[in-house]
Amino acid sequence: MQCPSCQFENMPGSGRCARCGGLLALASATIDVHPPRAGRVSKSVPRIWSRWWSLRRWLENHRDAAARPFRELVTRFDQTDFTLDTMLRCIVPGWAHRYRGNAARGGLFFTAYIGCLVPALVFFGTSLGSMFLGLAFATHVASAVDALVGRFATVGDRLAFMLVCSAAIAFGIYAPIGLGISRFAVPIQINHHISIFAENDVLWYNPLAHVKPGDYVLYAVPNTTLTGTNNHTRYVLQNRTIDRVAAVAGQHVQVKGDKLYVDDVAVPERPPTQIVAKMESGFVVPEGRLFIPGDGFIPTGARLNLSEWQQLCLVPQSSVAGRIFFRSQPLWRMSTIEGIVSGSE
Amino acid sequence: MRFDKLEFERPPDRPETGAPAPRVEKDEKYWAGLADENRRMGNYENALRFYSRALEVDKTLVPAWVGQVQMLVQLQEYPQASLWSQKALEIYPNNAELMAAQAQSECRMGNLKQAYALSDTSLRQRGESAYRWQVRGELVLAGRQTKDRHCFDKAQLADKDWLVPLETALIYIYYAVYHLGQQRAQMAVEKAPQAFYPWYVLGVCQAKAGFETAAVTSFNHCLQLCPRHEGALSRLSELQRPQWPFARLLGRFWRR
């Protein structure tokens, strides 16, 4: 009896092949000869496999070219470099890396820095902007440390050098830039509705700007205590606020009817009803003062006489922090002060 | 589709003749022959059915069991191929071809370790066959080693049939090594220039490798030998359709 699998001649009557163990009496056995078939869904799995092979082969073929920038990205400098050329190039994150021959790592630092700096500038004046600015600074410090030293013997060495670098970059780059900019533009986020500005607006003011009538200024309210109409309450007015300048030094302020006139020209502000009768003769704004008839901060239950009102409205120029010129936040309401004023009208 | 599972005893594209067909005895050799014929034309679904018909007549026909597993692999039904080879190995426990077939299906499913063990056992068996070396070559290729060419050459030495380089080319296509697949398909074409399927496989390799003019020529050869070949028609129209370079690149990667 010949085995169908290995052609070995077995003894007659054997059930299985003595050599390979194959079934000899297959003819009489009931065996399903139709293989199982795959369903439509399970057929798609091998296609995924074959595409995986295709992708893998492509990656293998292009591995060297594709891996080169990644290899550069993870390569740190082994040698320190404290030459002036390298140190000066630490002003821009990634520039020193490029100078030392690792452009990919430098590019990574530069991209990360720009990725933090741009949102920091966009959201400047808000807590989010501060966070991004902090990240940008940290990236800058990390870039400088990495470019100058790369590898440290201990973590302590690294921390100490990072502190030194942080101080150098903070005082050498960021502090001068910050101080320089703050002479012309300072952001302030307001936390409640003031005049024509809404809550959470980020406004920019210029401390050096020459103030003219009609400008909006940030100023410190002259410290004044008002008595309530019930004779028991005391209202202490202080803090900073924003309002429109109605008149500057030398201009004549007068109340006619219930309207306020500056050099015989009506202004939109209204005087408090308590002082209307006493203001017909008017007054001239003294030298070194601005007339800002802000009434938003005067409590409704306060008793107000003419001298108190004049003390509140004739603001010393030294109390003026600066002229508001721009609103940067929210982004969809970004505008110059002219735009804001025309919008509110 | 109600009728797509119908079996035709005469393969399609064979010219009609007026004379009555001679009566043939439909034994296992007849069905196995039909299966082989279909396999050489790339009709793996039909070939699988004919192998089953051959086994209905004679369950001891080991090449038909092996052929079934091979067809399941070609049809990309790897879990079924593995299961079926296991079943066949229960009947013929140490059959080298069946082991190789199981190794191939395991390899396609990513079980390289198991596939290597099966291939080692199959190569230790008596005798030598092209399929065992072909599977070994595939394992080497899947394992990203460099001796695959050696194994495929041994397979061709063991069997001079043009089906060996052709199916080697199909293995290369599966692993996206088109330039080597093109070489094997070229060998198959040189051995059997009258067969349309090697031309088609050669065209596929050429198209994938970026030799589009050569691919068009190969598909045209294929269509001369088999004017209604759907694969060649669709690939030819795809090659001749103007496309954006990026879309073509994407299509080349996506379409297998």
Contact: A20, B93; criterion CB under 8 Å: yes
Tell if the CB–CB gap between A53 and B176 is shorter than 8 Å.
yes
Q: Which domain holds residue B105?
A: 26-159
Check whether residue A210 and residue A156 sit in a common domain. no
SS3 (DSSP) at A267: strand
Q: What is the pLDDT of residue A162?
A: 92
* SS3 category, A235: strand
Say which DSSP state A328 is in: E
Quote the CA–CA distance of A286 and B179 in Å, as a whole number: 93
| A6 part of contact set with chain B, CB < 8 Å | yes
ipTM of the complex: 0.76
Same-domain status, A147 and A131: yes
Regarding whether A224 and A178 lie in a shared domain, the answer is no
Contacts of B77 in chain A (CB under 8 A): 37-38, 42-43, 46
Structural domains of chain A, count? 3
Domain range for A125: 80-182
In a domain, B13, yes or no: no
Question: Cα distance from B107 to chain A (closest Cα, Å)?
Answer: 11
pTM: 0.51
A221: closest CA among A345, A327, A89, A311?
A: A311
Q: In Å, what is the CA distance from A258 to each residue of A16, A159, A279, A344?
A: 121, 68, 10, 23
Judge if B149 and B186 occupy the same domain.
no
Mind spelling out the 3-state secondary structure of chain B? CCCCCCCCCCCCCCCCCCCCCCCCCCCHHHHHHHHHHHHHCCCHHHHHHHHHHHHHHCCCCHHHHHHHHHHHHHCCCHHHHHHHHHHHHHHCCCCHHHHHHHHHHHHHCCCHHHHHHHHHHHHHCCCCCHHHHHHHHHHHHHCCCCCHHHHHHHHHHHCCCCHHHHHHHHHHHHCCCHHHHHHHHHHHHHHCCCCHHHHHHHHHHHHHHCCHHHHHHHHHHHHHHCCCCHHHHHHHHHHHCCCCHHHHHHHHHHCC
Region of A21 please: left (phi>0), alpha (psi -120 to 50) or beta: left
Phi, psi of B35 (to 5 degrees): -60, -45
Statement to judge: residues B32 and B155 lie in one domain = yes
Mapped onto helix, strand or coil, the DSSP state of residue A303 is strand
User: What CATH code is carried by the domain that includes residue A263?
Assistant: 2.10.109.10
Chain A neighbors of B72, CB-CB under 8 A: 35
Helix (H, G, I), strand (E, B) or coil at A108: helix
Q: How far is A75 from chain B (nearest CA, A)?
A: 28
Q: Which of B130, B159, B188 is the last residue of a domain?
A: B159
Is the Cβ pair A29, B59 closer than 8 Å? yes
Do A26 and B92 lie within an 8 Å CB cutoff? no
- How confident is the prediction along chain A (345 residues), in pLDDT tens digits per residue? 777 777 788 877 777 777 777 777 665 667 888 888 888 777 766 667 667 776 777 777 777 777 777 777 777 787 888 888 888 999 999 999 989 888 888 999 999 999 999 999 999 888 899 999 999 999 999 999 999 988 888 889 889 999 999 999 999 999 999 999 988 899 998 888 887 888 888 999 999 888 888 889 999 888 888 888 777 888 887 788 888 898 998 898 888 877 888 888 888 887 777 776 666 678 889 898 999 887 677 777 778 777 888 888 889 989 999 999 999 988 888 888 888 887 765
Which one of A5, A7, A28, A62 makes the best mutation probe of the B interface by having the most chain B beta carbons within 10 Å?
A5
The last residue of one of the domains, among B106, B132, B159, is B159
Residue B136 and residue B31 share a domain: yes
Taking residue A244's Cβ as centre, other Cβ atoms within 10 Å add up to 19
> Do A200 and A305 lie in a common domain?
yes
Residue B131 is assigned to a structural domain of this protein: yes
For residues A194 and A177, membership in a common domain is answered with no
- Bridge pairing between strands A320-329 and A335-336: antiparallel
Residues of B in contact with A33 (CB under 8 A): 52, 55-56, 59
Cβ atoms within 10 Å, residue A19: 15
